[in-house]
Structure 1
Amino acid sequence: MTTSTAHAAGDDACDLRKIYKPRFPFNTVKCIGRTLFRSQQASDYACLLDLDPEVISWRCMTRPVLNDSTARKPRHHFVDFLVETEQEALLVEVWRGKPDIITWLPGVAARRGYRYQAIAMCDVDPIRLQNARDLVRYADREATLGDRIRILAGLDEMGSLSLAECLSAVREGTAMGSVASMILRGLIEVDLDEKLLGPDTIVRRARS
């Protein structure tokens, strides 16, 4: 497999301003710092990070990981994200196809307190990805207190509601923006894998 320019080019051979670009999503919930992505695949995976309940925060990595060897010019490699979860810290690299094996990278990451994780976007569920992209579009929205109370009270009474019923409960803000904000912030949950979000999608209180 041929690596991309971002993988193979050294500091003298690549212009990071051309590699790392602002791409959708421009607004996120869990990102620390600027959203700068070196590929469409990385920006897509960022949407999944925002919807992953185990992810506490993530940030874009725009500097290479250096092999801590004694060589005059130690090898280096670009990854995409530093991800903090409830259990561990990860250096995540996103690949369009099957990942190359970078033999020295997992060991260097471990010595720095991280676990290296290679993600093949060809293996990602396209339904989950589309649902995540649709929801992250509303990352800059926020549900009002009144709308949150109405939706949560309805869920407490009924156990679950359809997405259409949740939208109809919104009185103060924009309907989809308010409900999507509650999903992104972990107040309510929907099944992102079964099918594309629609009016009959079941909404429940998020499990604590």
Structure 2
Amino acid sequence: MSDRRSERRQGTPRTKKRPATPLTRNTLIADFLTICELDPEIESLRAPADPAEFRVGDCTIEHIADFEIVRDGQSFLVDVLTDEDLLTHPLRTAAIHGLAAEDGRHFSIETAASIRAEPRFMTVRLIMACRRTPVTAGDRVRILHQLDEVGTMRLVDCAGAVMNTQDGVAAVLALACEGLIAIDISRPILPETQVRRRRLPFTDPFSF
């Protein structure tokens, strides 16, 4: 018995799990821009933002945020930081309790915890996975036309208008990647997920 035990102990040692690779700032920025692209409430985005002054205690700090986002006509300043960069950010403490620039623009900090929060992060990944799905002209017109007629539909019902694409849901989500359809990315992708037409970023030349 002792010989057998010694043979078992001399077996191949179990491989240890490698620690997760820390996310880089470029990766977080790419994730953040994808979220902004799919967020129907964001009207425009500019990088970097115009310089802003912040009153922190008795000091005035001038800072250039990574992005300036316009949502419902209101401008927001956003910095995207890794956990390490957050420790040395000059506005970190003040931003915890809410911070606005002297000109009124609200300032916030996005980190891996907020950018990759669930279920939004998984929903964004599922939508972007369909961006290369080819949607025929016929399916495209049928999907958009029924949304024009009804307004808001369940995802499963909207996908039912697809005739030429094998995966109707993927066809609808592909149009969301093009900015033609709005989906609430804060919720999981479910049959009852609400979809609607998104406002076109350009003027319709045929509108009278």
TM-score between both structures, scaled by the size of structure 2: 0.52
Which amino acid in 1 is paired with 2:109?
Answer: A
1:136-155 pair list within 5 angstroms: 136-137=128-129, 143-154=135-146
Partner SS for 1:126: coil
Indicate conservation of the 8 Å contact 1:167/1:179, yes or no: no
Structure 1 counterpart of 2:38: 51
**Residue 94 in structure 1 maps to residue 80 in structure 2:** yes
Residue 170 of structure 1 contacts residue 178 of structure 1 at CA under 8 Å; is this kept in 2? no
Name the Cα RMSD after superposition: 4.5
* Aligned length in residues: 160
The answer to whether the 8 Å contact 2:44/2:71 transfers is yes
| Structure 2 CA distance for partners of 1:174 and 1:59, relative to 1, 3 Å | farther
What is residue 119 of structure 2 aligned with on the other side? 127
CA distance 1:43–1:150, change in 2 (3 Å): same
Instruction: Quote how far apart the aligned CAs of 1:151 are.
Output: 1.9
Unaligned 5+ runs, structure 1: 1-36, 69-73
Q: Counterparts of 1:1-208 in structure 2 under 5 Å? A: 38-61=25-48, 65=51, 77=63, 79-96=65-82, 100-101=92-93, 109-111=101-103, 114-123=105-114, 125-137=117-129, 143-154=135-146, 156=149, 160-163=153-156, 166=159, 169-171=162-164, 178-184=171-177, 187-195=180-188, 197=189, 200-206=191-197
The answer to whether the Cα contact below 8 Å between 2:77 and 2:105 also exists between their aligned partners in 1 is: yes
| C-alpha contact 1:147 1:173 (8 A) present in aligned 2 | no
2:12 is aligned to none
The percentage of aligned residue pairs carrying the same residue is: 21
Deviation at 1:55, TM superposition (A): 0.6
| CA shift for structure 1 position 102 | 5.5
Instruction: Write the distance in 2 (CA, Å) between the matches of 1:77 and 1:192.
Output: 30
TM-score (norm 1): 0.52
Shift of 1:187: 4.3
Unaligned runs of 5+ in 2: 1-23, 55-59, 200-208
